[in-house]
Amino acid sequence: MRPLQGIKVVTFEHAIAAPFCTRQLADLGARVIKVERPGTGDFARNYDERVSGLASHFVWTNRSKESITLDVKQPAAIEVVHALLCDADVFVQNLAPGATQRLGLDFETLSARYPRLIVCDISGYGLDGPYRDKKAYDLLIQSESGFLSITGSKGQPAKAGCSIADIAAGMYGYTNILAALIERGRTGRGKHIDVSMLESMVEWMSYPLYYSIDDQPAPALAGASHATIFPYGPFPSGDGKTVMLGLQNEREWKSFCNVVIVRPELAEDERFSSNSRRTKNRDELTQIIVDAFSKCSAEDVIERLEKASIANAHMNDMHAVWKHPQLDARNRWTRVKTAAGEMPALYPPGVSATDEPRMDAVPALGEHTVPILKELGFDDRAIEQMRKTAAI
């Protein structure tokens, strides 16, 4: 018995934010029915062909779902939508601004008809305000939220390598839906959830916002290093590899000097006697560390860091992550079915001793259209008529 077994989710979704949200629900056992446009479907299906001809984004965010194709501009298709919603628990959408209102699928209309339905709208900027109708993609929100202003190096802003604005919004949609399900258990009524990518990312801006409060200077751009704690970041070793390390306090600084770089006299050096001073003199200290590491391999450096109880990490590329020994040791990989055969998939974070997450197939476009329609009571003649009019 998975936590959300028996919960039915209907979703009008595309790209990443809403699909990532609903995949979390599916992982916990919810039945997720994905409504897609006939012929083309979720446009993320065509982002690339890297997974044996399938799109990497789509395979990642859409396992364990059912796909039904509907042209929701047609009355017959809207009839099917309402047949789906009449016993649904959650409706999720991230269509273009105003689309659900035009279809009569906004919260106000739906709640009057289905008072127990939880409606989650995920958008770029929210359902009101002057930015409501602006198009919003992940990189644009990274920029608008200030994220790009604190990443990269001087004169070279850098985006995050994955879709963090989409992921943030998807996760806030997911957690709000879980809370709304608990609340409905007490009140018996559904709820409206309005999640914006902008607000999700601004929440994640965390300390840089407060560090810059009252018009104070923002954290300096520091590439992959920490902007305000030093040494904390990547350092090259003698074998050409890079080691990531991070110091948090003065005890660790002394241990670093004694054990790692073997320069015990630096522990009392006034230039480096506090984090603020080490940050101020980071160029000078960087050269000292680079010189010390140049005589060692990356594994030698990591061995010293471990001995000194200082946090460290390999700077892995994607190929190394597929083979990460910790993930293998914890049996965190499984395989899921797709139209192109079985593919590896990481179990979602959170290990339970009592049940396993749902790890079902990634659906082909419209794979479940006919079975779902028959389940809803549509006979072969009605289904054939919908097919003739391209309603499905």
351 and 302 co-located in one domain: no
What Cα–Cα distance (Å) separates residue 15 from each residue in 137, 141, 295?
Answer: 9, 14, 47
Does residue 82 lie within any of the structural domains? yes
**Per-residue model confidence (pLDDT) at position 88:** 98
Tell me how many domains the chain contains. 2
Does residue 66 lie within any of the structural domains? yes
149 closest CA partner among 199, 212, 213: 212
Does residue 352 lie within any of the structural domains? yes
| Residue in the block written with tokens 């160029």 | 283
311 and 338 co-located in one domain: no
Does residue 45 lie within any of the structural domains? yes
User: How far apart are alpha carbons 176 and 312 in whole angstroms?
Assistant: 34
Does residue 271 lie within any of the structural domains? yes
What Cα–Cα distance (Å) separates residue 37 from each residue in 40, 183, 228, 325?
Answer: 6, 33, 48, 41
53 and 144 co-located in one domain: yes
Does residue 214 lie within any of the structural domains? no
Beta bridge partners of 116: none
User: How far apart are alpha carbons 98 and 372 in whole angstroms?
Assistant: 27
Does residue 211 lie within any of the structural domains? no
139 and 236 co-located in one domain: no
User: How far apart are alpha carbons 172 and 122 in whole angstroms?
Assistant: 9
**Per-residue model confidence (pLDDT) at position 156:** 85
Chain-centroid distance, C-alpha 100: 24
| Residue in the block written with tokens 């690339």 | 48
**CATH code, domain with 97:** 3.40.50.10540
Kindly list the averaged pLDDT for each block of 10 residues, start to end, along the chain of length 392. 95 98 97 97 96 97 98 97 98 95 96 98 96 94 94 87 96 98 98 98 92 90 88 96 96 97 96 96 96 96 97 94 95 96 95 85 98 97 97 97
Does residue 370 lie within any of the structural domains? yes
User: How far apart are alpha carbons 275 and 271 in whole angstroms?
Assistant: 10
**CATH code, domain with 265:** 3.30.1540.10
The last residue of one of the domains, among 285, 315, 345, is 315
**Per-residue model confidence (pLDDT) at position 219:** 86
Residue 125's domain comprises: 8-204+328-388
The last residue of one of the domains, among 264, 288, 315, is 315
57 and 23 co-located in one domain: yes
Chain-centroid distance, C-alpha 290: 35
**What's the CA angle centered on 195, arms 191 and 201, to 5 degrees?**
155
